[in-house]
Amino acid sequence: MTRSKHTGRVLLIKLIPLISCFYILFFSTLARAQDTINLAIDEARPLKYATPIDTVFIANPDIADYRVVKGNQIIVFGRAVGQSSLLLFDERGRTIDSKMLVINKDLRFIRQQLAARFPNDAIQLTNLGDQVVLSGTVTSEQTRKDIYYLTGELLQKEFEQETISWEDDDDSYDIRFLNSRTYRGLINNIEIKETKQVSVRLTIAEVSHSFIQHLGVKWGTLNSEGNLLGGGNGEFLSMLNTGLNSRNIARYINAVNDDSMGQILAEPSLSVISGETASFLAGGEMPIITFVNDSQNITYKEFGVKLDLAAEVLRDDKINLTMMPEVSAIDPQNSNTKLDIPAFKTRRARTTVQLGDGESFVLGGLLNSEDREALSKIPLAGDIPVLGAMFRNTRDERQKTELIIVATVNLIQPVQPQTIQLPRLKLRNSLLRFFNLKKPPPGTPPPPVNRRATSILGAAGFKR
């Protein structure tokens, strides 16, 4: 027992110096924090002491200065941004006080302006020298940007302009509402309560109707091998075997009436955070080979369904939207087969609109109608009434295209993975497709006709 008490007393004696050092460091740090005086430019503060002041020393009078009011009272004030030491001595040379004067810009006017312009937002504005820090929480990206710009202009800070643009072939398009400024010496630490996300769904619909009608007789020739030059659906060849070099002369009877319709429908959908850009491409890239000075160059041309967009959500949940949708496909009719240069049929739009949550807007529409009529005939013979029809050929072409582009925007929230439904392929047996039979529901025996078809194909070597 005695030995354990002696051991505890020894440990306590060893810990006394450590405890003393801790208290000295704590109180010295506290004293240093209390010895710092923060002042704004042209701001004054009085200091009063019990001992009369005999000598005042200030390290940098260009930063801060003083005036002695009475024997034991002094006034210090700021001149410029910076810091300076202040030492006070009595008549015996003993130190009365030691202060560190930190001079910053006066931000009271800016705080008043921010409070008046944005009363519902909690904004803090602090500075250290020439560096100013914005902090707090706001409701939208636009409010965050407006606070930052207003503070930078009131502080008269220099800034760098950042421009976001899209490149399209040889043209460049600026997205003005996404242009931003970066002020030197102004740090924006303002946070947004909830980041807004925008979903954009485009509907691009095109309906084309073409009508071609040929009627009449057309005269032509055969090549050296005796094959028909041209020809096609609705063209009937008649060889002239008598007189005038019958091996090279042929007659085509045209009776063609083609009527075709087509529809192109693309519905790309893309989500983006407010204040950012996004792009989407469902298609491919076509290599295009060119030769310049015996050197071969390969460039790639994108085609398919393409969408570039930029969005910004405003304070009232209105959405600024800039988009450039494009639907393109290879056009074999206008391609150059000899030089192997493809042609592209492109539908493109570029616009900037402002929409509300859930609203739609028609970005563009096109109604294109083309009519062509042609008459070819043999001179004189084609002008004879009735019989001249054997020497005439008529061609009528009509083409009509309607294109419409509709945009729908929505403010969205993240969802749980189990709520997402992916598109799936409904598989069907090749045998059922061959015989055009419907697959029975699960658990239902197949009808006799299905069993009969299976046995027939199985006997013929098909896999059941």
- pLDDT tens, position by position, 361-389: 887 777 777 777 777 777 777 777 767 77
Confidence of residue 16 (pLDDT cuts 50, 70, 90): low
Residue 446 three-state SS: coil
Tell me the C-alpha distance between 346 and 365, whole Å. Answer: 14
Confidence of residue 203 (pLDDT cuts 50, 70, 90): confident
Q: What is the DSSP string of 78-104?
A: E-SSEEEEEEEE-TTS-EEEEEEEEEE
What residue has token string 């242009």?
179
Tell me the C-alpha distance between 351 and 60, whole Å. Answer: 59
Tell me the C-alpha distance between 410 and 423, whole Å. Answer: 22
Confidence of residue 122 (pLDDT cuts 50, 70, 90): confident
- Please state the rounded mean pLDDT for residues 379-403: 75
How many Cβ atoms sit within 10 Å of the Cβ of residue 180? 15
- Please state the rounded mean pLDDT for residues 279-302: 82
Which pLDDT score, from 0 to 100, does residue 349 have? 81
Tell me the C-alpha distance between 367 and 393, whole Å. Answer: 30
Residues 6+ apart with CB under 8 A from 95: 87, 88, 89
Q: Which has more confidence, 360 or 431?
A: 360
Confidence of residue 71 (pLDDT cuts 50, 70, 90): confident
- Please state the rounded mean pLDDT for residues 226-249: 48
134-138, 206-210, 442-446: segment of lowest average pLDDT: 442-446
Which pLDDT score, from 0 to 100, does residue 147 have? 93
How many Cβ atoms sit within 10 Å of the Cβ of residue 410? 17
Assess contact for 157 and 184: CB atoms under 8 A.
yes
Tell me the C-alpha distance between 54 and 101, whole Å. Answer: 20
132-141, 266-275, 284-293, 381-390: segment of lowest average pLDDT: 381-390
Kindly give the pairing relationship between strand 165-168 and strand 360-377. unpaired
Confidence of residue 28 (pLDDT cuts 50, 70, 90): very low
Assess contact for 175 and 166: CB atoms under 8 A.
yes
Cα R_g (the chain), whole angstroms: 43
